[in-house]
Amino acid sequence: MANAQIYVEKRKFKRVEKKITVTYKVISMPAELEKIKSAAVKNETETANISVGGIQLIDDSPLKPEQIVRLEIKLPDHPAPIVTFAEIKWSAKDDNIKRYRTGIEFLVLKEEDKAAIEEIIK
């Protein structure tokens, strides 16, 4: 047992495996926000999992830690997408699926959006 490692769960919120469509825009500098709003490319991808604290995306390209993104999350049976800002925490290639997994932490989340996410987690 000398080589055994103990795994400690560090997440604050319960996660569930869900495939949900998400649209995101990378936000660079505050001075560029107006330019970004009008010209930024929106990328559509899917999630691997979701919690009220964050989301994991599956995408063809990596994102950089500390980037801020604007997310539009289209929950099933929810009339309008959840729109929020989040921070990229990590991004790594998954050789099994030949795509990138990216961990994202929500920076803000309205109470009604949090409730909608909690509903699908149940």
CB 93 within 8 A of CB 62: yes
pLDDT 10s digits, 62-117: 999 999 998 999 988 888 999 999 999 999 999 999 999 999 999 999 999 999 99
Query: Over the range 53-86, which residues count as b (16 or more CB within 10 Å of their CB) and which as e?
Result: bbbbbbbeeebeeebebbbbbebeebeeebebeb
CB 46 within 8 A of CB 19: yes
What is the radius of gyration, based on Cα positions, of the chain? 16
Domain boundaries, the chain: 16-117
pLDDT 10s digits, 33-70: 666 556 667 888 999 999 999 999 999 999 999 999 98
pTM score over 0.75: no
Relative to beta strand 16-17, strand 54-59 is unpaired
pLDDT of residue 101: 96
pLDDT of residue 39: 62
pLDDT of residue 1: 45
- Just give the CATH number of 16-117: 2.40.10.220
CB 44 within 8 A of CB 23: yes
